[in-house]
Amino acid sequence: MSHRNVANDEQSRANVSTRPAPPPPPVASRNGKRADESQSESSAHSAPQHSLRVLIATQEFNEFRILDRIYTEHPELGIKTIGWCDNGINLYQAAIDGDADVVIVDPETRSFQHEDVQRLWIYPKKPIVTIAAVPPQSGLANTLKQLGAVDLVTRPLTERSAHELVAKCHVGVQEALRYRASVGYIPQMDSKTAQVIASRGWQQGVIVVWGPKGGVGKTLVACNLAVALGVIGNRRTVLVDANMAGGNDHHHFYQSIPQTQLGKNISALADRALLHARYGPIQPSATGMLGQRPILPSDEVDAHLFRYGESQLKLLIGIPRQHMGGYECFSEENGRAFFRELVASLRQFEDFIIVDIGQDANVPLHLAALEFADYVYVVVTPDRSSILATREALDTLFKHVKLARSKFRLVINRYHDSSGISRAEIVKALDMPEIATIPDGGPAVSNIVNSGKPLMMDHRGQVADGIISIASTIYPPTRDIWMNRGKLGKKPQAKNRGALGNIKAGLRWLVLGEGNKP
């Protein structure tokens, strides 16, 4: 139901998607001044050329009437209401048809669909921000913030609420446009990318990141590869920290991981698996009879995973202390059985399982990971000790453990032309196909890692591009998505005006102050 045509004003629709929202001007005074004074002040704060278009979705039509009256009487506030929607089923389409910039929504509105908050946020043409109108002390406030609402306003909506919403709307839109133009924005896939997905140009699988030499950057590669697939590629991805020399993957996410999550680690899950294996876990079946549960039920596995933000990436935290790698649950056949059951459980629901293991292939869990992996990405650095240690370890795995050479791939990390060893020499020495070369990022990469955020979320240099090269061998659309990040807001490249054109442009800039500095 709509009490205002939500599809009018085509000129505003064409302009609003790429402009920054105007800053909220001062609210007009209501202190009883004379009409001529009010008119003078009104001319000083005339209506902005472009107003934000706001859709109101509440249960009470009277709330819409209050906001509509305030914004109509005070165009200088820079807000124009485009309609009222009292049925959540129509909300998304009404916002799109009305070219809304902001949706003010009461989450208790009939048939409101929570996923619409994110659908509006990632709308390809422009971000449409949501402001939640919730009752005081309502538990819905946190829910809506988690869903992606940029701000909150208390219901019932009054004249005071209308003025309060001015700043919230303008700031929310400005921040959304700024984020859409940043390298951190993950856009929706274009039609070409969608075709790749539709044709299944990729395969689900278990990818183990390993290197027999310590300190080569296995953890950095594993963590950011998982981010590339689960956050940027938007595929269901789990990062398993299975390094029995001490788990470090969570340090790359520590800004987001609460302390309470650290106890839900791989050791706690392995203990549960060992307990179930010994005592035969049972549960009531749908018919009321007792039925055998698997050693690692999917609900228990999921309870030990940490979801990174609102993305598709989950993390199984590693052992917090090195001595825990010697626990019974990880020893010999127990460790192999646990990893086998873990992979079997995760394969049911996840597209990609990225496993970070320690350097020692003699550890039962590490060896089990190498055996059960679909692919093993071997990380080496361009130094003699790393290359020789890797060649020796691979010879053992191929000759004695009988692992298939075909599933091993080479990643050269921290490469520099002045290393003294060329990429071709490394490939020849290890007799393995190279899938990516990651350049030496220096202190800049270390600073990002130490910040507790994944490098892929805060960096767009050659190191990040190298990670994308790895991810695209697993999930090809990742490269297209990465290349399209931050396209909105970029200035078009200046056309080649020639020498005479540059002279003219320079004179115009110097004398008249027009145009851009050449």
Q: How far is CA 411 from the centre of its chain?
A: 24
Six-digit token string for 40 = 């003078």
Is pLDDT larger for residue 258 or for residue 54? 54
Query: Which one, of 370, 246, 254, lies nearest residue 318 by Cα?
Result: 246
The torsion of the CA quartet 307, 309, 313, 315, rounded to 10 degrees, works out to -40
Tens of pLDDT, residues 355-393:
999 999 999 999 999 999 999 999 999 999 999 999 999
Tens of pLDDT, residues 469-488:
999 989 988 888 888 775 54
- Dmax over CA atoms of the chain, in Å, equals 96
Position 41 scores a pLDDT of 44
pLDDT category at 342 given cuts 50, 70, 90 is very high
Tens of pLDDT, residues 227-265:
999 999 989 999 999 999 998 898 888 878 888 888 999
Position 467 scores a pLDDT of 95
CATH code (residue 61): 3.40.50.2300
For residue 315, the one-letter residue type is: L
pLDDT category at 447 given cuts 50, 70, 90 is confident
Q: Is the pLDDT of residue 10 over 70?
A: no
Six-digit token string for 2 = 């709509």
Span 188-206, average pLDDT: 63
Tens of pLDDT, residues 147-176:
789 999 999 999 999 999 999 999 999 999
Query: Which one, of 467, 474, 229, lies nearest residue 375 by Cα?
Result: 474
CATH code (residue 244): 3.40.50.300
Q: Is 509 a domain residue?
A: no
Q: Indicate if 162 and 239 belong to the same structural domain.
A: no
Position 198 scores a pLDDT of 53
Q: Indicate if 356 and 419 belong to the same structural domain.
A: yes
The count of domains in the chain is: 2
Is residue 71 classed exposed, middle or buried when 0-12, 13-18 and 19+ CB atoms within 10 A define those classes?
buried
Q: Is the pLDDT of residue 59 over 60?
A: yes
Span 90-111, average pLDDT: 92
Q: Are strands 151-154 and 205-210 parallel, antiparallel or unpaired?
A: unpaired
Q: Is 310 a domain residue?
A: yes
pLDDT category at 464 given cuts 50, 70, 90 is very high
Indicate the average pLDDT of the chain: 81
Q: Indicate if 452 and 317 belong to the same structural domain.
A: yes
pLDDT category at 491 given cuts 50, 70, 90 is very low
Q: Indicate if 377 and 311 belong to the same structural domain.
A: yes
Q: Percent of the chain at pLDDT above 70?
A: 77
Lowest mean pLDDT among 134-138, 292-296, 511-515: 511-515
Sheet containing 408-415: give its strands across. 306-307, 313-316, 237-242, 352-357, 205-210, 375-380, 408-415, 434-439
Q: What's the number of CA atoms in the CB half-sphere (13 Å) around residue 396?
A: 11
Q: Is 323 a domain residue?
A: yes
For residue 489, the one-letter residue type is: G
Q: Indicate if 140 and 216 belong to the same structural domain.
A: no
Instruction: Return d(Cα 432, Cα 420) in angstroms, integer.
Output: 20
Q: Indicate if 175 and 232 belong to the same structural domain.
A: no
Position 381 scores a pLDDT of 96
Q: Indicate if 468 and 332 belong to the same structural domain.
A: yes
Q: Is the pLDDT of residue 184 over 90?
A: no
Q: Is 516 a domain residue?
A: no
Position 139 scores a pLDDT of 78
End-to-end distance of the chain based on CA atoms, in angstroms? 53
Q: Is 146 a domain residue?
A: yes
Q: Which stretches of 316-458 are DSSP H helices?
A: 332-347, 364-372, 384-399, 423-430, 443-450
CA angle 309, 312, 315 (to 5 degrees): 70
Q: Which of the residue ranges 56-65, 185-194, 245-254 has the most confident prediction, judged by mean pLDDT? A: 56-65
Q: Phi and psi (nearest 5°) for 122?
A: -100, 15
Lowest mean pLDDT among 181-185, 209-213, 454-458: 181-185
Q: Which stretches of 52-139 are DSSP H helices?
A: 61-73, 91-97, 115-121
Span 115-128, average pLDDT: 87
Q: Indicate if 176 and 206 belong to the same structural domain.
A: no
Q: Indicate if 144 and 217 belong to the same structural domain.
A: no
Q: Indicate if 162 and 211 belong to the same structural domain.
A: no
Q: Indicate if 216 and 102 belong to the same structural domain.
A: no
- Cβ 52 vs Cβ 102: under 8 Å: yes
Q: Indicate if 172 and 212 belong to the same structural domain.
A: no
Neighbours of 515 (CB within 10 A): 12
Position 480 scores a pLDDT of 83
pLDDT category at 1 given cuts 50, 70, 90 is very low
Q: Is 503 a domain residue?
A: no
Q: Is 21 a domain residue?
A: yes
Position 183 scores a pLDDT of 64
Position 23 scores a pLDDT of 40
Helix (H, G, I), strand (E, B) or coil at 200: coil
Q: Is 186 a domain residue?
A: no
Position 485 scores a pLDDT of 72
Instruction: Return d(Cα 72, Cα 58) in angstroms, integer.
Output: 19
Domain range for 398? 202-278+292-475
Query: Which one, of 105, 100, 94, 132, lies nearest residue 1 by Cα?
Result: 94
- Using only C-alpha atoms, what is the Rg of the chain? 29
Q: Phi and psi (nearest 5°) for 208?
A: -100, 130
Domain end call among 180, 210, 229 = 180
Position 3 scores a pLDDT of 42
Q: Phi and psi (nearest 5°) for 146?
A: -65, -30
pLDDT category at 290 given cuts 50, 70, 90 is very low
